[in-house]
Structure 1
């Protein structure tokens, strides 16, 4: 049994870690002054808010520092099965960039289900889109059917595409209608907004979250302030290069400074990237001004007090020096005096 400082998702607290049935568990409350103290800090597994599990070897995620992922576009039947069973079937290997965990826990999977697109809209014509992963919606009746289908499947949000550079997009009226129908099922709309004016338009029409920090154009400060008050952005900064990357980082920097909520997301499956915490995405978030606790909030670590939580350990760190990239699983050997 050791005293430990841990991050509960909001701030830093004191608790105790101990071995229970061979697993390291965390409990809160003040510890006995005579207890040895862990040399470092403890967190729950991180969240990637934008992944595509059908486009990667998702079994490798069970050995990563992620505790939860949110899939933003795939076959809803496949995603439902993954969410029900968790992802826990692959032995982690250091060759794959993952860590050896004595008792791997199931990764929590949340999902949006299928992409909801205008007829002929993105990504209906993309070869990478898994079979059954797109629902083309022409009118309000079709929208109601699709939203009901995603809700019945167990979706936690609705992914709506609005990419004017790659095909048709929804009219203002139909987009607003989809948002309203989704709200009646308690499904916030996460929008893929791409093309001039699309990020501004979908937020004005009620999108609760942008699947990508705006990268088509620089938003003016007035628009940044409006969006900071009404929506959140998933970062996905590292998928860009050149001008698009610079625009996205500048937008995120001002959005964060205005009080907007930035969430860590990688668009896992969009090109080669680790099935784990992404160092390039972390570096881009830091470049955009997210440091210390702001970076941890973006990573949305899971509740480390939950019995099923994967506990991460940052050896030698304090709350002021905690670096997510230094995190590794907390293992029984760390409790040896």
Structure 2
């Protein structure tokens, strides 16, 4: 047992971390008895990557990562739901089991996993017009998009597609609005998707690409942009409107050259205007670690996010949740990439 400082998702608290009879490390926000030694470092819950594509990566590597939650933004809903259920089943059925070499199976989420596993949320399939992005992409898995005719008579079809994703357990709805490579929904159909999503209590996350799309989808009711705008520099008035109405998922490290310069500049001004930034990598879009990505964290720092803002963007899970990944940081203001998994030996040192 150790006394410890931990981050509860909103602020720093004092408590106790200990091993229970089943070998689980538990964090409790209760007064510590005098004489209990102090943990060398502070505790945070596993971080959140708000933009991943689990069918495009070795998702079993999440089991050893510093990610406590991921949000899949475009995949076959039945496949991704199976991965998510595998985590839930493991959390319910194998409490106290820590990962060892004997428990490393090749299909990580089709068999029971350790208690402290990365929680998976998901949007289900991309909703896109017929012929729209990513229907023409070789990387798009079978069943990862739903094409909807782009006319006023298709609002019922749009609502049905939203209902399908909601029934599959989606926590948000992903809409592709990539004018740079194909058709996008007109205002009527996009609004119909937003309204249907609201009826199910789900926010809309939009992939907005191409001139004017970021502003248009925000005006039509998207709650989040899947990528910080990178195809055009928004003016200060547009930035202020965005900051007041939507959140941005960063995905800065997937860019280079002019796109990166534009995206970082937009993020810097969006953040300064009070906009809500969310850490996300577009995991699966090129080589990157199935873990916290130091390049993405560094890019957010370059865009002006300080330690507190980075922590907010990373949205660490509450470490008091028995299923939460527990991370150890050297001190509260440490670079988030310096976190590592808390292990039982840390309570014995």
Same-fold call, TM cutoff 0.5? yes
Q: TM (normalized to structure 1)?
A: 0.93
TM-fit CA distance, 1:33? 3.5
CA shift for structure 1 position 78: 0.4
| 1:105, distance to aligned residue in structure 2 (A) | 2.1
Q: Give the deviation of 1:39 after TM superposition.
A: 1.5
Q: 1:220 to 1:14 in 2, by over 3 A?
A: same
Per the alignment, residue 97 of structure 1 pairs with none
Indicate yes or no: 2:326 matched with 1:325: no
Tell me which residue corresponds to 1:61: 62
- Is the contact made by 1:63 and 1:91 (CA closer than 8 Å) also made in structure 2? no
* Residue 308 (structure 1) shift: 1.2
Q: Following superposition of structure 1 onto structure 2, how do residues 1-337 of structure 1 map, counting pairs within 5 Å?
A: 1-20=1-20, 21-86=22-87, 105-138=116-149, 139-314=154-329, 317-319=330-332, 321-337=333-349
Counterpart Cα distance in 1 of 2:13 and 2:292:
24
* Alignment partners' CA distance in 2, 1:216 and 1:335: 49
Cα pair 1:215 1:247 within 8 Å, conserved = yes
User: Do the aligned partners of 2:159 and 2:192 also contact (CA within 8 Å) in 1?
Assistant: no
Asked whether the equivalents of residues 6 and 43 of structure 1 are also in contact (C-alpha less than 8 Å), the reply is yes
Q: CA deviation at 1:130?
A: 0.2
Contact 1:112–1:155 (CA<8 Å) still a contact in 2? yes
Q: Aligned-pair distance for 1:336?
A: 1.5
Cα distance in 2 for residues equivalent to 1:218 and 1:172: 23
Q: CA deviation at 1:282?
A: 0.4
CA shift, 1:173, in A, is 1.5
Distance 1:335 1:133 in 2: 44
Tell me: CA distance 1:90–1:55, structure 2 relative to 1, closer, same or farther (3 Å).
Answer: farther
The separation in 1 between residues aligned to 2:272 and 2:337, in whole angstroms, is: 23
- Looking at structure 2, the residues matched to 231 and 183 of structure 1 have their Cα atoms a distance apart, in angstroms, of 15
Task: Report deviation, 1:91.
Answer: 6.1
Q: How many residues align?
A: 326
Q: How far apart, in 1, do the equivalents of 2:44 and 2:114 lie? A: 17
Q: Which runs of 5+ in 2 are unaligned?
A: 91-97, 104-112
Equivalent residue for 1:99? none
User: 1:74-117: CA deviations, max 9, x gaps?
Assistant: 10110111111129798689xxxxxxxx9562221100000000
In structure 2, do the counterparts of structure 1 residues 109 and 200 end up closer, same or farther at CA, with 3 Å as the change threshold?
Answer: same
Q: 2: CA distance between counterparts of 1:301 and 1:125?
A: 35
